[in-house]
């Protein structure tokens, strides 16, 4: 097989992940097959196997890809909010509220399915433990920046607040998928979570106003 440049490899991998995303959105994790992904990607099975050994490794790579996009989005929000951690959290929560009704059309249901059906498998359990650490670290870092620049004076540890935020959001999203966002008043719950977080962070609004002026 001829040598393939790193750039070409990245394009191939992205093509596979985008195809996989469409398959997992429509079929979920359990019902999706490698054959479905091969057909959606328009590649031979051999090309797929060149980069991934099975459906599980494709799905994990897809989640990593989405998490990398989240990290990029947080970086962008930091720039848009002139380095304000408070601004980042508010913007992120607003975007989350707006996207809740579209969760069922995303990869999120398949991620929850993969986690709940595969937790007995050591590889899957280890993966999600590491992912939890990685994703919570993104928001713990944001909160930490807010403490450093004087926006926050938290009443609890930054680590504890960050983990509480992620756990609460996960619960809201999972219940939205299970019972419907209207049934559980998801947007109102997100707003309540914002208020709780701001209380725990003891927001210094004078400092924030100074940054935005």
Helix (H, G, I), strand (E, B) or coil at 157: coil
Confidence band for 208, pLDDT divided at 50, 70 and 90: confident
* Beta-carbon-side half-sphere exposure of residue 7 (alpha carbons within 13 Å): 0
Listed range (71-80, 116-125, 180-189) with the worst mean pLDDT:
116-125
pLDDT digits (tens, 9 = 90+) for 42-80: 998 898 999 999 999 999 999 999 999 999 999 999 999
Cα(74)–Cα(141) distance, rounded to whole angstroms?
10
Task: Give the residue from 51, 61, 49 showing the smallest Cα distance to 20.
Answer: 61
- CATH superfamily membership of 1-53: Homeodomain-like (1.10.10.60)
Q: Would the pLDDT of 123 be above 70?
A: yes
Burial of 83 (0-12, 13-18, 19+ CB in 10 A): middle
**Domain ranges, ordered by start, for the chain:** 1-53, 60-212
End-to-end CA distance of the chain: 59
Sign of CA dihedral 69, 31, 105, 91: negative
Class of domain 60-212: mainly alpha
> How high is the mean pLDDT of the chain?
93
* Residue of 159 and 211 predicted with greater confidence: 159
Per-residue model confidence as pLDDT tens digits over 141-158? 999 999 999 999 999 999
pLDDT digits (tens, 9 = 90+) for 170-180: 999 999 999 99
């Amino acid at each position: 097989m001829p040598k393939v440049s790193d750039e070409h490899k990245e394009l191939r991998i992205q093509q596979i992940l985008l195809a996989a995303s469409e398959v997992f959105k429509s079929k979920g994790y359990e019902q999706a097959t490698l054959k479905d992904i091969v057909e959606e990607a328009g590649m031979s099975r051999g090309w797929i196997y060149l980069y991934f050994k099975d459906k599980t490794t494709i799905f994990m790579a897809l989640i990593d890809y989405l998490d990398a996009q989240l990290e990029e989005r947080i970086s962008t929000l930091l720039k848009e909010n002139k380095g304000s951690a408070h601004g980042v959290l508010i913007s992120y929560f607003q975007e989350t509220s707006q996207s809740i009704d579209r969760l069922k059309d995303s990869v999120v249901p398949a991620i929850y399915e993969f986690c709940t059906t595969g937790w007995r498998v050591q590889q899957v359990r280890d993966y999600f433990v590491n992912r939890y650490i990685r994703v919570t670290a993104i928001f713990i870092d944001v909160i930490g920046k807010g403490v450093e620049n004087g926006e926050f004076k938290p009443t609890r540890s930054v680590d504890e607040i960050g983990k509480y935020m992620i756990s609460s959001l996960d619960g809201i999203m999972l219940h939205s998928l299970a019972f419907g966002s209207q049934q559980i008043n998801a947007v109102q719950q997100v707003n309540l979570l914002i208020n709780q977080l701001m209380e725990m962070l003891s927001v210094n609004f004078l400092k924030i106003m100074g940054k935005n002026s």
